[in-house]
């Protein structure tokens, strides 16, 4: 069964990698190599001209990922997966999906254009927008061309050198900037494992697995390459340094995290409290710290959603804390059912090919439905004794 889980996960990730290329924009040419042109066209035929098949494939991949996610978690709890195997699967997943196409988001193209304004046009993206450069070929497949640069200066600082290294060529620049999401994912995994090793060492691999194999983390952090992944990786590393009483490093990483997207700045009171408590050797509960942080980051999701709408990658804000706060089966069930529903909301877009009605109504229903399923699972897990519902890997340790 363990070998089946490993083979199943590798297969599911390969299917996700392959499926991502069905969503290549029809106006986008990744490379002019003749053999790739034929491959790209065949994948686009599925994504754009056989939408029922495309939607079915997407749903099958999502169900595969979530099924294997639960199987691997149970195997980790039983001790059937070694730390080495877990890390090999993590690294394999990160490397393969690094080279996937950003199928579910156009944000990567905005990151490229924002940096290009400086490296090619010599303009400030805080005061200029993509529409100010009507002759740029990037505009042909970008979304949100009317917006000014919405992120912190540190994200610009790390993307500018990569823009130079890409020599204004789309494919190498895509790979380089997408690599920041891969780095953030691996950094977040490492920091979560290190933090748990210092607090509850017996649960560190379980916590690592809860985060690293979460399908929403895989899709939004690695396939779409959102900058939220690097933001959270830096934040988790900051917590690791605080735990080890390296306060200067902790605050540097915290500032870098805030400098990517500002949202982690809401955790400033928590970091001040942790720093003072560590220096003065005050006693406090790490479990309560994780719960408070999880609540704060959950609230920031709804604040961000008020600006536009609730997006799946916003859930990356609290998922690392869910991995740290592993005492609560209820939190795990509710969070993951909601993550599942948020990923499902891509399905109506894949089927209809746009975000017009009835897609918004279907998305809203999927969100409510997923939350309802989560509540039902919590009630069943509380009052029934079926293994699939009680999720034994979430039981509190005896010690």
Enter the DSSP assignment of 215.
H
CA distance 136 to 120: 11
What is the predicted pLDDT for the residue at 399? Answer: 37
Q: Lowest mean pLDDT of 104-108, 214-218, 230-234, 372-376, name the range.
A: 372-376
Query: pLDDT per residue over 283-305, tens digit each?
Result: 889 999 999 999 999 999 888 87
Q: 125 to each of 34, 121, 145, 150, 387, how far by Cα in Å?
A: 36, 10, 12, 9, 53
Tell me the longest C-alpha to C-alpha distance in the chain.
65
Whether 18 has a pLDDT exceeding 60, the answer reads: yes
What is the predicted pLDDT for the residue at 383? Answer: 64
CA distance 205 to 318: 19
376, part of any domain: yes
Count of positions (residues) in the chain: 399
What is the predicted pLDDT for the residue at 384? Answer: 55
Residue 129's H or E segment, with its range, is none
Range of the structural domain that residue 353 is part of: 2-105+175-394
What is the predicted pLDDT for the residue at 397? Answer: 46
Burial of 61 (0-12, 13-18, 19+ CB in 10 A): buried
Averaged pLDDT, 12-20: 98
**pTM value?**
0.93
Q: Which residues contact 228 (CB under 8 A, 6 or more apart)?
A: 220, 221, 261, 313, 314, 316, 317
Q: Contact at 8 Å (CB) between 123 and 104?
A: no
Q: 48 to each of 53, 293, 299, 336, 351, how far by Cα in Å?
A: 10, 41, 36, 30, 9
40, part of any domain: yes
CA distance 213 to 74: 12
Q: Token match 């924009």: residue?
A: 25
Whether 388 has a pLDDT exceeding 70, the answer reads: no
Helices (H), the chain: 2-20, 34-49, 51-77, 83-98, 107-119, 153-165, 170-199, 204-212, 215-216, 228-243, 247-261, 268-279, 286-307, 319-324, 329-344, 346-352, 359-383, 387-390
117, part of any domain: no
235, part of any domain: yes
Whether 187 has a pLDDT exceeding 60, the answer reads: yes
Averaged pLDDT, 260-277: 96
Residue 29: pLDDT band (50, 70, 90) is confident
CA distance 80 to 279: 39
CA distance 370 to 317: 19
Q: Lowest mean pLDDT of 27-41, 58-72, 107-121, name the range.
A: 27-41
145, part of any domain: no
Cβ-based neighbour number of residue 380 at 10 Å: 15
Enter the DSSP assignment of 354.
S
146, part of any domain: no
Query: pLDDT per residue over 57-104, tens digit each?
Result: 999 999 999 999 999 999 999 888 999 999 999 999 999 999 999 999
- Number of folded domains that form the chain: 1
> Which of 78, 256, 122, 247 is CA-nearest to residue 184?
256
What is the predicted pLDDT for the residue at 144? Answer: 82
What is the predicted pLDDT for the residue at 49? Answer: 96
Query: pLDDT per residue over 220-266, tens digit each?
Result: 999 999 999 999 999 999 999 999 999 999 999 999 999 999 999 99
What is the predicted pLDDT for the residue at 251? Answer: 98
Dihedral, CA of residue 348, residue 352, residue 353 and residue 358, to nearest 10? -70
125, part of any domain: no
What percent of the chain has pLDDT above 70?
95
Cβ-based neighbour number of residue 264 at 10 Å: 27
380, part of any domain: yes
What is the predicted pLDDT for the residue at 11? Answer: 97
């Amino acid at each position: 069964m363990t070998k089946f889980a490993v083979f199943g996960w590798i297969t599911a990730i390969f299917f996700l990698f392959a499926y991502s290329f069905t969503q290549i924009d029809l106006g986008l040419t990744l490379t002019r190599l003749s053999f790739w042109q034929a491959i790209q066209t065949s994948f686009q035929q599925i994504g754009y001209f056989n939408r029922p098949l495309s939607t079915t494939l997407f749903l099958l991949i999502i169900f595969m990922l979530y099924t294997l996610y639960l199987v691997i978690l149970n195997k980790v709890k039983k001790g059937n997966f070694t730390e080495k195997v877990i890390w090999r699967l993590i690294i394999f997943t990160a490397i393969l999906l690094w080279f996937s196409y950003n199928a579910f988001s156009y944000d990567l193209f905005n990151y490229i254009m924002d940096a290009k304004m400086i490296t090619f046009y010599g303009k400030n993206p805080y005061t200029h927008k993509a529409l100010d450069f009507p002759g740029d070929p990037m505009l042909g497949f970008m979304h949100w061309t009317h917006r000014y640069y919405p992120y912190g200066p540190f994200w610009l600082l790390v993307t500018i050198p990569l823009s130079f290294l890409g020599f204004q060529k789309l494919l190498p620049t895509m790979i380089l900037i997408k690599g920041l999401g891969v780095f953030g994912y691996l950094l977040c995994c490492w920091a979560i494992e290190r933090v748990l090793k210092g607090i509850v060492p017996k649960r560190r691999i379980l916590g690592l697995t809860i985060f690293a194999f979460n399908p929403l983390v895989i899709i939004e952090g690695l396939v779409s390459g959102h900058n939220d992944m690097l933001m959270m990786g830096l934040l988790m590393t900051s917590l690791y340094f605080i735990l080890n009483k390296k306060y200067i490093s902790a605050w540097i990483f915290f500032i870098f995290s805030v400098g990517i997207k500002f949202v982690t700045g809401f955790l400033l009171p928590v970091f001040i409290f942790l720093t003072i408590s560590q220096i003065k050797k005050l006693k406090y509960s790490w479990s309560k710290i994780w719960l408070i942080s999880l609540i704060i980051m959950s609230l920031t999701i709804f604040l961000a959603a008020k600006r536009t709408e609730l997006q799946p990658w916003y859930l990356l804000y609290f998922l690392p804390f869910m991995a740290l706060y592993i005492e609560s089966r209820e939190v795990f069930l509710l969070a993951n059912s909601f993550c599942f529903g948020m990923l499902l909301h891509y399905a109506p877009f894949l089927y209809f090919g746009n975000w017009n009605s009835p897609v918004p109504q279907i998305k809203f229903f999927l969100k409510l439905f997923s939350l309802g399923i989560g509540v039902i699972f919590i009630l069943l897990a509380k009052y029934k004794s079926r293994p699939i519902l009680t999720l034994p890997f979430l039981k509190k340790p005896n010690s």
